Amino acid sequence: MSKVLSHSQRPRWRSLALLTLLLAPLLWPLQHLAERYYSDELIQQNSQTLDLYVANLLGTLRRYEVLPQILGDLPALRSALLQPDDPATLNAANRLLKRVRGQTGADVIYLMDNRGKTLGASNWDHEDSFVGRNFAFRPYFREAIAGRLGRFFGLGTTSGKRGYYFAAAVRDGEQVLGALVVKVDLDHTENLWGHTPEQLRVTDANGVVILTSRPEWRFRATRPLDERERNEVAANQPYPTLAPKALELDDKAWLIQSRELEETGWTVSILAPTSLIERPVRNVVAIGGAALLVLVLLVGLLMQRRRHYLERIALDARARRELEIRVLERTRDLEALNSRLKQEVLEREQAQQELVRAQDELVQAGKLSALGTMSASISHELNQPLAAIRSYAENAGVLLDHGRTDDARGNLRLISELTERMASIIAHLRAFARRDRHAPESIALQPALEDALALLAKRRRALDVELIRDIPDATLWVQAGETRLRQVLGNLLANALDALAEKAPPRRIWLSVEQNADGIALQLRDNGPGFSTEALQRAREPFFTTKTSAQGLGLGLAICDSLMRAIGGELLLDNHPDGGALLTLRLRAGVPGVNLQPPEDLSA
Ligand code: ADP
């Protein structure tokens, strides 16, 4: 079973791995979407930052843009240009410029004559004072003298600091007297940029980085300069170098957003490292992958559960089928057993019948063999009266010859008596030899006893015999044949009366019953002379008698014994210790019931 399962599990894991492989490409669009989402977010965020920075930068520049023109109208400065040799005037101009610088926050404010020489400056009292220096080479000076607003980015020639220069002409009517220049410090605008992963980059019209949060990018060229630009750089020297090195950036490593500043020709860019979105994208892909894995595992689990469920159903079905088969087999076995039992019962019944028949045969055979032993006595018994009859008949003939009819009649009467006696012998023998047709049945004892007593009542009264009974009122059921039992009882009672007739009164007969596990024992006792020793041994033999031939044939007890054995009972002969015969009939107990059976041998 487990072996089968492990076999069937292998392909399932293989199919799950296949499913994972099939679903894995779904992670690619997920990555793409996440990248789009996070870069959009970053772009939006950085766009705001960039706007802020641009606004700040423009605000800084615009604050100073109009300053040269306004200052140029101041009389004190114009006077200084008109009287360049008057120290007091120059001093006043210097102080004014210094004051204005302090108020506006400009880096340096200075005044040049129309040849480019600095007459006054806000830093007149500094070591690196501009006073006396000539900046005619600067493009802003040329622009201002030409009547336009001069703008210029460059490094201070003395300070080396980056600055943006605004310059305007100082006029006296139509005449241009000189120029006023305001230098704005731009270094601090770089410092506005905090320590963020995003980087700032401001490039000028030449594509050279002038402001940046990354010092190593400073004054690098984002594109190659053409000849005109190179010449201009050589002439104006806006950078610390004449040939700026190229700035090489990996396009893929940076997300760049830019704004053009038209008035300065600058481009302000914010550069965000793409690594900023890589991490959240990686997380999203990892989560997606995990979700996918969980999904696949869930599918696997569901498949496994379904498989288990199906397997269980199949198992149940198989078990049910096996059970049904077993039940069928068992039923078949039982049916076979049943028919075998029926057959056995039938055979037993047949055997029983055979047995009954065999017993019957046996009893009959016994009787016949008894008849065999009797035949000698029978011939003797019959020969005697036959011989007597013959002689009486011969005598009767002689007497008739002599006319003695009365004597002849007397002989004939004797013949008749003898034939009666012979008929009696033969009748007893018939009764003895008759085959019992019925198997023993349940018989009530008391009525049979009453019948036998009634038949002999007359003779008992004549002899004045006292009858002492010790018999329960409740009907006693015994196994016997109705007529056979009466015949036995009648014989025994008749014998008792015969015996009592031989003695003087008082004459008594006791009848008692004993019940035990084996059955019922009926005892019949008289106070006659009892059995002689020989009679006790031989009384059961046919034709044994101690009586005269007129009184007894000697067949009574022989027939009783045979009848008792035929019904499964027993006849016991004994003498009572107080004298007299004691006969015991042992009978098998019968089933209580109503005996509707008619006497079986009416012919007797
Ligand atoms: P029968 O009565 O014709 O002699 P039975 O077979 O009935 O033949 O009896 C055999 C003998 O047993 C009798 O002759 C008698 O000697 C003896 N016998 C039978 N019943 C008694 C009895 N109640 N008391 C004494 N002897 C008896």
Task: Work out how many domains the chain is built from and give that number.
Answer: 3
Is there a single domain that holds both residue 542 and residue 586? yes
pLDDT of residue 122: 93
Q: Ligand 1 centroid to 539 CA: how many Å? A: 7
Quick one: the chain helix, strand, coil %, rounded to 5? 55, 20, 25
Please state the atom number of ligand 1 nearest to the C-alpha of residue 553: 3
Looking at the structure, do residues 192 and 170 belong to the same domain, yes or no?
A: no
Give me the pLDDT at residue 377, please. Answer: 52
> What's the rounded Cα separation, in Å, for the pair 62 and 57?
9
In DSSP terms, 185 is beta-bridged to: 163
Residue 441 has pLDDT above 90, yes or no: no
The mean pLDDT value of the chain amounts to 86
Please give the number of the atom of ligand 1 that sits closest to the Cα of 542.
6
Residue 604 lies in a domain: yes
| One domain for residues 479 and 602 | yes
Domain match, 118 and 102 both: yes
Whether the predicted pLDDT of 93 surpasses 60: yes
Residue 123 reports pLDDT greater than 60:
yes
Which pLDDT band, with edges at 50, 70 and 90, does 328 fall under? very high
- C-alpha distances out from residue 212 to 24, 206, 240, 257, Å: 43, 15, 15, 14
Index of the ligand 1 atom closest to the CA of residue 545? 14
Residue nearest to atom 7 of ligand 1 (CA): 556
**Cα within 13 Å of Cα(11), Cβ side:** 5
Cis peptide before 599 (omega within 30 of 0): no
Going from the Cα of 580 to the center of ligand 1, the distance in angstroms, rounded, reads: 12
Distance from residue 534's CA to the centre of ligand 1 (Å):
11
End position of a domain, from candidates 151, 185, 219: 185
Q: What is the CATH number of the domain that holds 213?
A: 3.30.450.20
In a domain, 235, yes or no: yes
**Residue 108's pLDDT band (boundaries 50, 70, 90)?**
very high
* Secondary structure of 534-570 as H, E, C letters: HHHHHCCCCCCCCCCCCCCCCCHHHHHHHHHHHCCCE
Residue 594 lies in a domain: yes
Give the CATH number for residue 465.
Answer: 3.30.565.10
Is the same domain home to 481 and 601? yes
Q: Which stretches within 456-522 are classed as H helix?
A: 457-463, 482-501
Residue 453 binned pLDDT confidence (cut-offs 50, 70, 90) = confident
Nearest CA to ligand 1 atom 26: 531
Distance 513 CA to ligand 1 centre (A): 22
pLDDT at 296: 87
Atom 21 (ligand 1): residue with closest C-alpha?
Answer: 495
Domain boundary among the residues 229, 256, 275 is at 275
Q: What is the pLDDT of residues 59-80, one digit of tens each?
A: 888 989 999 999 988 898 999 9
Instruction: Choose the residue to mutate in 459, 460, 498 for probing ligand 1, maximizing ligand atoms within 8 Å of C-beta.
Output: 498
Mean pLDDT of the 8-14 span: 64
Question: How much of the chain, in percent, has pLDDT values that exceed 90?
Answer: 43
Residues 171 and 193 in one domain: no
Would residue 291 count as lying in a domain?
no
CA distance 585 to 569: 7
Q: Residue 452 has what pLDDT?
A: 81
From CA 163, how far away is CA 107, in angstroms rounded? 8
Domain identity same for 539 and 600:
yes
Which residues, in sequence order, are bridge partners of residue 164? 153, 184
**Ligand 1 geometric centre to CA of 359 (Å):** 29
pLDDT at 482 over 90: no
Query: Do 483 and 577 share a domain, yes or no?
Result: yes
* Half-sphere exposure in the Cβ direction for 424 (13 Å, CA): 17
Q: Going by CA atoms, what residue is nearest to atom 8 of ligand 1?
A: 554
Assigned token pair, 275: 């690594």
* 560 CA from centroid of ligand 1 (Å): 12
Q: Which residues of 524-553 are buried (b: 16+ CB within 10 A; e: fewer)?
A: bbbbbbbbeeebeeebbbbbbbbeeeeebb
Ligand 1, atom 2: closest residue by C-alpha: 552
241 close to 179: Cβ distance less than 8 angstroms: no
Banded model confidence at residue 599, pLDDT cuts 50, 70, 90: very low
pLDDT band at residue 604 using 50, 70 and 90 as cut-offs: very low
Distance CA 523, CA 546 (A): 23
With a cut of 80, say whether residue 224 has pLDDT above it: yes
Ligand 1: residue of 531, 562, 578 to mutate (most ligand atoms within 8 A of CB) is 531
Domain that holds residue 222: 188-275
DSSP string, 311-342: HHHHHHHHHHHHHHHHHHHHHHHHHHHHHHHH
- Does residue 237 lie within any of the structural domains? yes
Instruction: Output the CA angle 209-210-216, nearest 5 degrees.
Output: 60
Of the two residues 23 and 512, the one the predictor is more confident about is 512
Tell me the CA–centroid distance for residue 495 and ligand 1, in Å: 6
Residue nearest to atom 12 of ligand 1 (CA): 539
Instruction: Name the residue at shortest CA distance from atom 16 of ligand 1.
Output: 546
Which atom of ligand 1 is found nearest the CA of 552?
Answer: 3
The model's pLDDT over 182-194, given as tens digits with 9 standing for 90+, comes to 999 888 888 777 7
Give the closest residue (by CA) to ligand 1 atom 27.
531
Residues 487-512 have pLDDT tens digits of 788 889 989 999 999 888 899 999 99
Which range of 317-326, 435-444, 466-475 scores highest in mean pLDDT? It is 317-326
DSSP secondary structure letters along 49-86: HHHHHHHHHHHHHHHHHTHHHHHHT-HHHHHHHH-TT-
Q: Compute the average pLDDT of residues 403-427.
A: 84
pLDDT at 433: 56
Three-class DSSP category at 459: helix
* Ligand 1 centroid to residue 507 C-alpha, Å: 17
Ligand 1 geometric centre to CA of 396 (Å): 35
Q: What is the pLDDT of residue 597?
A: 45
DSSP class per residue in 369-415? HHHHHHHHHHHHHHHHHHHHHHHHHHHHHHHHHTT-HHHHHHHHHHH
Please, where are the H alpha helices in 434-481? 445-455, 457-463
* 488 domain-assigned: yes
Contacts of 67 (CB under 8 A, 6+ apart): 104, 106, 109, 166, 182
Give the distance (Å) from ligand 1 centre to CA of residue 298: 111
Residue 2 has pLDDT above 50, yes or no: no
Q: Which atom of ligand 1 is nearest to the CA of 554?
A: 8
**Could you tell me what percent of the chain has a pLDDT over 70?**
90
Structure-token match 């410092």, residue found: 191
228 pLDDT above the threshold of 50 = yes
Closest ligand 1 atom to Cα of 492: 20
Which of ligand 1's atoms lies nearest the C-alpha of 528? 24
Q: With bands split at pLDDT 50, 70 and 90, how would you rate the model's confidence at 110? A: very high
List C-alpha distances in Å: 398 to 162, 165, 401.
206, 212, 5
Ligand 1 first shell, C-beta below 6 A: 495-496, 499, 526, 528-531, 535, 539, 544-547, 552-554, 556-558, 581
Pairing label, strands 175-185, 162-172: antiparallel
Q: Examine the fold and report which residue of 208, 242, 275 is the final residue of a domain before the chain moves on.
A: 275
Per-residue confidence (pLDDT) for residue 225, from 0 to 100:
92
Please tell me whether residues 195 and 81 are part of one structural domain. no
Q: What are phi and psi of 560, to 5 degrees?
A: -60, -45
- Among residues 338, 358, 350, 202, which one has the least CA distance to residue 267? 202
Going by pLDDT thresholds of 50, 70 and 90, the confidence category of residue 167 is: very high
pTM: 0.48
* 598 Cβ neighbours under 8 A, 6+ residues apart: 482
Greater model confidence, 435 or 449:
449
Query: Does one domain contain both 543 and 563?
Result: yes
Question: CA 310 to CA 39: how far, in whole Å?
Answer: 50
Query: Distance (Å, rounded) from C-alpha 169 to C-alpha 154?
Result: 20
pLDDT-based confidence at 562, cuts 50/70/90?
confident
**Residue of higher predicted confidence among 157 and 281:** 281
Q: Is the pLDDT of residue 102 over 90?
A: yes
Give me the pLDDT at residue 51, please. Answer: 92
The tens digit of pLDDT for each residue in 356-405 reads 887 677 666 656 655 665 565 566 567 777 888 888 898 889 899 998 88
Asked if residue 354 belongs to a domain, the reply is no
Does some domain include residue 557?
yes
- CA terminus-to-terminus distance, the chain: 86
Residues contacting residue 396 through CB under 8 Å, at least 6 positions apart: 408, 411, 412, 415
Q: Tell me what pLDDT residue 435 has.
A: 52
Ligand 1, atom 11, residue with closest C-alpha: 545
Q: Tell whether 262 and 228 lie within a shared domain.
A: yes
- Residue 201 and residue 173 in one domain: no
